[in-house]
Amino acid sequence: MAPGEYVQQTLAGLDRPAGGVDPALPLYATTFVVVDLETTGGSPDGGGITEIGAVKVRGGEELGVLATLVNPGVPVPPFITVLTGITQAMLLPAPPIEQVLPSFLEFVADAVLVAHNAPYDVGFLKAACAKHGYRWPNPRVLDTAALARRVLTRDEVPNRKLGTLAAYFRTTTQPTHRALDDAKATVDVLHGLIARLGGHRVDTVGEAIEFSRAVSPTQRRKRHLADGLPRGPGVYIFRAADDRPLYVGTSGDIATRVRSYFTAAEKRARMSEMLAAAERVEAVECAHPLEAEVRELRLIAAHAPPYNRRSKYPERMVWLKLTGGPYPRLSVVRGLAPGDTAYLGPFRSTRTAELAAAGFHDAVPLRQCTHRLSLRTVTPACALAELGRCPAPCEHRITPQEYDDRAVAPFRTATTSDPQVVVDALLARIEALASAQRYEEAAVVRSRLAAVLRATVRMQRLAGLTRIAELAAARPAAGGGWELALVRYGRLAGAGVSPPGVHPRPTITAIRATAETVEPDGHGPVPRATAEETERILSWLERPETRLVEMTSVWSSPAAGAGRFRDLLEKAEGGGSHQLSTERS
């Protein structure tokens, strides 16, 4: 990250240690550093700070104070002097901000930073750290102004200015536009606001920070749905009053993820609609994240929750296959039959299947007409035959054997092992079109090449795993021990975790004894699972840290298979046609 570049923190960081503070820490046990700055005005640019006041408190007890004037290195505007009483003469002997920062950063270490209108103060401090080469510790930040907007009504206070809140809570120190006085006043305001949080069921520092952010009335009202959920990996299901699944999700920490739906970071309109209909959240704990991902896919496929978009209809996958008969053609179908031996897929949409079909039609002389051809009867040829784009099997200009050698065999070879012939033909066509400056047509062929390669790479990758009757694998668990998976014909049949310091083999034996029975009675490259499930398993297995423990057969892919064209596929998907003209071998 370049100096001076700031990155907006995500909600996911809320429940990870930041500044050394656990978000589940009770408010009464949390160490707060309440800070206030006086500045020369303007926007944060690494300078302009004239005074820092900070008070460290915990459980209502003052632990320390830091207060200093700061030489900003620039003149103090007259209106600032009138407002704060800080003059240029007072600041001349003061240390510059780069000398103050080390003491301040040490003072705020392992504490929650509190300020009134915190973005202003934090912005100046972060800019100063970036300018002078100090690492910003990224503490959790609580804004008393934002918290007051959530806790206090207009009937109680007309506004949320520090002076107004100090009068309402009768602080022992009144704000004076001097840093330490204002910080001490903010301490009392903070304590007054914390006292009000109990009525909102806000007891921890993480909850207080999230409560201070803008959330909808529905989110606030339904926040209790996240209570009591487990902290481990698994699947969560939002259910309606009639128990219908509304939304299914997965997380490595179910409780943290579900809580995020009731925070200001959740702004999706469809999620707001879902929360309004939700009445409870069901959790399904899993051994590890892979099992959680697979269970999520299966639950979405089984229930089609209305608020899930991805993977909602896995049964809508389509295939590209060769039809039967003496002169086969390519056909897009919804499923494969046991007799189908030449096919490609699965594709996520008919459009992508048709794009791949067009690529094969550009490369090999497969007929494109839908007529049922006969070896006895001649059918009139179409325009493609006249243009030389079809060998006219309809008029018996080519024998079935010649047609098989020139058109059918290249398709079979490309899908099951080596697509070199198809790739070469498409690259030659792209090069010819680009040389003729027909770049738009070349781009169309490039997209067809990408569709062919994407599908062949995917199918051969899936088939390599789904041919294996059983495979056991292990991956180091974050807390020690091993995450274990038992895979049968590309389907997750069992999962578990072996504890630290214990050999995983007994756990694998126990998983095998209770694992799902998977019969090899399906057809195609994903006979017993969805392509998406097998791909999730493949991603887990292919990680460098994963270890293959046992296999009933060899896991292999064709030596001259489609996988060797991955680099070409990346270029076809993202580059111009001129980048492909040099790829012919």
Known catalytic residues are 177
Which helix (H) or strand (E) element contains residue 303?
helix 289-303
Our CA angle for 270, 290, 516, nearest 5°, is: 110
CA atoms within 13 A on the CB side of 511: 25
To the nearest 10°, report the CA torsion of 10, 13, 14, 20.
Answer: -140
Q: From 134, 126, 147, 118, select the one nearest 46 (Cα to Cα).
A: 126
CB 536, CB 297: distance < 8 Å: yes
Which helix (H) or strand (E) element contains residue 295?
helix 289-303
Q: Reduced to 3 states, what is the DSSP secondary structure of residue 68?
A: strand
Give the C-alpha separation, 298 to 347, whole Å.
19
**24: which 2 tokens?**
């589940």
CA atoms within 13 A on the CB side of 148: 29
Give the C-alpha separation, 478 to 491, whole Å.
24
346: cis peptide before it, omega within 30°? yes
Our CA angle for 345, 347, 351, nearest 5°, is: 130
Instruction: Put residue 501 in one of left, alpha, beta given phi > 0 → left and psi -120 to 50 → alpha.
Output: left
The DSSP line for 446-478 is HHHHHHHHHHHHHHHHHHHHHT-S-EEEEEE-T
Q: Which residues contact 554 (CB under 8 A, 6 or more apart)?
A: none
* Long-range pairs of 570-579 with CB within 8 A, sequence gap ≥ 24: 572/446, 572/447, 572/449, 572/450, 572/453, 573/450, 573/454, 576/443, 577/430, 577/433, 577/434, 577/439, 577/442, 577/443, 577/445, 577/446, 578/434
To the nearest 10°, report the CA torsion of 466, 472, 475, 480.
Answer: 150
At residue 90, what are phi and psi to the nearest 5 degrees? -65, -30
